[in-house]
Structure 1
Amino acid sequence: MLARLVAPIFRLARGDHISGDSDYQDDEYDAGSTLEVTPSQDALSIGISTIVPEGARSEGSSEAGGDCLSCDIAALSSKDKDMSLCAEQKPASQPSVSELSLITSPGPQLPVELLYEIFVLADRQALATLALSSHTFHDISTRLLYRHIPFLSLPQSVRCLRTLSRNALLASYTLSFEIGDMDSLDLKRTGSVLGAFFGLLARAFRNMTRLTELSYLLFGPTSASLVDAPFKLTNLTASCDFDPSFATFLTEQRSLQTALFCGRYITGTSVDFNALPALNRVSASPLVLASVVPGRPVREVELCLVHPWLLNADILETTVQIMSYSKGPLRSLQIISHLTGPADIILNALAAVPKGLSGLEILALHAVSGSINNDLLVGLKPILAQFVSLKSLILISKNQYDAVHDHIITKTLASTWHAACASLECVSLPHATWVRNRKYGWVTLQDLERLLLEREQTLMNREKKVREREEVLDQEQRSLIEREHQLEAQIRELRLELGM
């Protein structure tokens, strides 16, 4: 029964023609005609600005070419209202009238909650098509289409923001929003040319009351659009300037837990000490970290040293001292930098980490460029010896020809480092991850998986032998019981013969 109910839904999502009368033929959507129309590729590519709920369309959007692509679809469907497929043109897989009645008749229907779980599996194109089939499908599809708004081109972004700024209901569906990734929106280069765009963006943000995740990749002093927004974020990625306006916005985000700051730090910018009380994970440059880490429960930090000269002892020592004031306490540190300098300078800089953060549990070094050579690997041993509770060490390098990619060199690294740092339990390298097992010592995850499979097979064989032994014992017990019954019968016969 469930399969019969679900099948027509996916046929509608594919845009197959539906024969028979529709319960919504006289409604605004004119389902009998819209189901015959496949939205244009341009409409489906934007997806999120394709559908507008009934009774919520803005004025001036009823004509083709309006601010929302649903207008284009409606206009297209009205032109094709008299068109029908002949018998030879009908797809062989189109649903029948009886199938359609399963989802449109007042008879047995899937609950809305179950329909929602089914629609979650559909892509944006399928959701845009399903939204044109019925009122119920429209409501569910619209919520899903606007739940996550991905990066769009500039024309699509403008069209989407117009819809969100004029329709508070649609904007309230949005939980995750991505904007930017467009060089033309760098306000520093464009000046006031796009002032209207940022005004539109600010109005759209005012309606996103339930937004929790935001990727704001608009470079330059563009944070004014964020100030006074009603949403409460938990995750933020921002490339705008870290200026006083952005600091004001951060003061309003008391639920923010994870933040990635990619923008340029403006000298003199500071964040109120009582702001960001829930921040526990942050990625930023040293100057930004100095503004957001002290006094906050930050437990994970990604230190971005975008210039090779930033990886030196003085800068890293100062940064580590700043991070030590986290109330987390800080347990994980990842250093992202260019390892193009000599090994002794890099090791001298890394030696500053355990001096201020000896309680780290996870330490990662990500080489964006340069290489991790053998001298660097050998020199890490005395640095690791200064940590008291380090459990995991991660080394990442894009240079496939450096020492960290050499299987022969790295084969004994884990055991060598563990001799210096007894708490070390995991070493992750580009080609393998080594873990410490109490029984087998240092093994890779592949080896550990193989050992676990062998152990599992051994236990299964042992269980099989136990079952076989139990069967033998059961058989012997049944034989003994049968022998006991035979003896009892013989005793009764002897008693009868003896007249007892």
Structure 2
Amino acid sequence: MLDNFNARKAGIPDKRSRSASLDTRPAKIPHLLSHSPDLSRPPSTRSTLPIEILDSVLRCVQSRNDLASVIISNKHLSDVAVRIVYHSIRLEKPLESIVCLRTLSQNSRLALLVRSLDIHWPNLSHPTANLYSLALRAFRNTSSLNSLSIDVPADFHPWNFNTCSFQLKKFTTSFPCDQSLISFLETQPSLLDLTLRGFNSNPAEFSFNLNTFNLNPNPIPFSLSPDAMPRLSCLRAIHASFEIIGSILKGRPVTQVSMPLYADCVGRSLDVLKLASEPIERLNLISFDPNAPLHLLDEIANRLPDLEALHVVILLAQCSDTMLEALAPSLKKFKSLQYLTYMSAICSDEVSRDDEENIAAMWHQCCPTLKTIILPMGKVWFLDNSKWTCLEDAE
């Protein structure tokens, strides 16, 4: 103590004072390039990049095997990669499908990551009861699912989704258009996009000959409640009859429709398009009417003059350059048509490139709003500086 007193009196700081004074001095900040890292510490496995950037980068990885390698290589990247792998699942091979469905049924954490599920089993007939049970257990866990596609044979009876809690925005199915399907659709108020690939009549009753072709001669009644699917905006009915299409469109804000046209009910099929609460903007038609080239464009224009896009595929009729030129007056009735596809499965004679260019110019003269035209030979024509140009030439 006496030594400390004498030292302070002489103006010499003691050890504690010297230490304190050193601590109060500003520390020198070493230059980043001259700083040598501590090589004794292992490098961090946690990325300094934000999760959003890692997610964007890993979504560019196309190979599932590469994503699997990421999952097992790094714990931090694993969480991001797992979300991507389970976000969208497509099941095709039976064994792989069973393994995946078993995982989803047993691991609810992974099942919650699934947003899109595509089951593609077109050749899997007569499924076992165990497969039904396994699929249902998996569906019950995928409560965050918003897109579901099921493509199975006609004898594959629909699953009972009553115990599932997911709310779909997009649904594609090959199930028959029967009461089971109606019951499910009425539990999906968030549905925006619906594709029906199933038949709604007995395949043994299909009617077709040289003059007509009808996949729904005796359709099953399809009574959908008015409150079902209040937000539906897109309907694709691949084989359905006009009665089903009308039941779905009535009072709903559907603006995009794909549907078949059969020879004995073309007018009635087109009439139901006016039942939607919003004007139809895009229409895709597959025609089984041998007389379609003579009247179809005119029938459509009379009912839907405000169409923006029209795509027609004619399966049982021939198209020639003379016939295509004769269709030009019908186009005058369209007010806003921008995109037109008019294709035929058979042509009486090959329409030359020059003929197609003349037809495109003639159609545009009758319908000035047209921007893109696809004619029967499959060539794409577009308006470029007031001249119709073939996409093949532009490439």
Question: What is aligned with 1:144?
Answer: 84
Rate the CA distance shift 1:166–1:330 in 2: closer, same or farther, 3 A. same
Question: What is aligned with 2:180?
Answer: 245
One-letter amino acid matched to 1:432: V
Q: How does 1:436-475 map to 2 (within 5 A)?
A: 440-444=385-389
> Which one of 39, 47, 54 corresponds to residue 115 of structure 1?
54
One-letter amino acid matched to 2:199: R
1:224, 1:246 within 8 Å by CA — same for their partners in 2?
A: no
Is 1:205 the counterpart of 2:139? The answer is yes
> Which one of 377, 380, 386 corresponds to residue 432 of structure 1?
380
1:403, 1:409 within 8 Å by CA — same for their partners in 2?
A: no
Distance 2:350 2:260 in 1: 21
Question: What is aligned with 2:362?
Answer: 416
Rate the CA distance shift 1:196–1:147 in 2: closer, same or farther, 3 A. same
2:360, 2:388 within 8 Å by CA — same for their partners in 1?
A: no
Question: What is aligned with 1:324?
Answer: 274
1:414, 1:442 within 8 Å by CA — same for their partners in 2?
A: no
Which of the two has greater strand per residue?
Answer: 2
Deviations 1:7-27 (A, max 9, x none): xxxxxxxxxxxxxxxxxxxxx
Distance 1:288 1:409 in 2: 40
Deviations 1:104-161 (A, max 9, x none): 2x7x744443333332233210121222223323322221111111132111111111
Is 1:265 the counterpart of 2:200? The answer is yes
Deviations 1:167-203 (A, max 9, x none): 1111111111110333124xxxx2xx52221222112
Question: What is aligned with 1:182?
Answer: 122
One-letter amino acid matched to 2:356: T
Is 1:299 the counterpart of 2:252? The answer is no
Is 1:274 the counterpart of 2:230? The answer is no
Deviations 1:91-113 (A, max 9, x none): xxxxxxx8x95452x7x744443
1:372, 1:404 within 8 Å by CA — same for their partners in 2?
A: no
> Which one of 326, 344, 355 corresponds to residue 379 of structure 1?
326
One-letter amino acid matched to 1:198: Y
Distance 2:380 2:228 in 1: 41
Aligned length: 331
One-letter amino acid matched to 1:163: T
Q: How does 1:281-360 map to 2 (within 5 A)?
A: 281-284=234-237, 285=240, 286-305=242-261, 310=262, 312=263, 314-338=264-288, 341=290, 344-360=291-307
Shift of 1:320: 1.3
One-letter amino acid matched to 1:433: W
Shift of 1:329: 1.1
Structure 2 portions without partners, runs of 5+: 1-38, 202-219
Is 1:231 the counterpart of 2:166? The answer is yes
SS in 1 for 2:152: strand
One-letter amino acid matched to 2:140: R
Rate the CA distance shift 1:404–1:293 in 2: closer, same or farther, 3 A. farther
Deviations 1:40-63 (A, max 9, x none): xxxxxxxxxxxxxxxxxxxxxxxx
Deviations 1:233-265 (A, max 9, x none): 222211111111111111111121122110012
2:145, 2:168 within 8 Å by CA — same for their partners in 1?
A: yes
> Which one of 343, 357, 376 corresponds to residue 396 of structure 1?
343
Rate the CA distance shift 1:120–1:419 in 2: closer, same or farther, 3 A. closer
Distance 1:133 1:182 in 2: 36
TM-score norm. by structure 1 comes to 0.60
One-letter amino acid matched to 1:295: G
Distance 1:317 1:353 in 2: 9
SS in 1 for 2:284: strand
One-letter amino acid matched to 1:204: A
1:205, 1:229 within 8 Å by CA — same for their partners in 2?
A: yes
Distance 1:215 1:252 in 2: 17
Which of the two has greater helix per residue?
Answer: 1
Structure 1 portions without partners, runs of 5+: 1-97, 451-500
One-letter amino acid matched to 1:174: V
SS in 2 for 1:232: coil
Deviations 1:412-431 (A, max 9, x none): 11232233334434323322
Stretch of structure 1 that moved more, 409-418 or 326-335: 409-418
Rate the CA distance shift 1:415–1:349 in 2: closer, same or farther, 3 A. closer
Deviations 1:245-300 (A, max 9, x none): 11111111112112211001251122211111111111113343122111111111
Distance 1:178 1:412 in 2: 44
Shift of 1:373: 2.5
SS in 2 for 1:296: coil
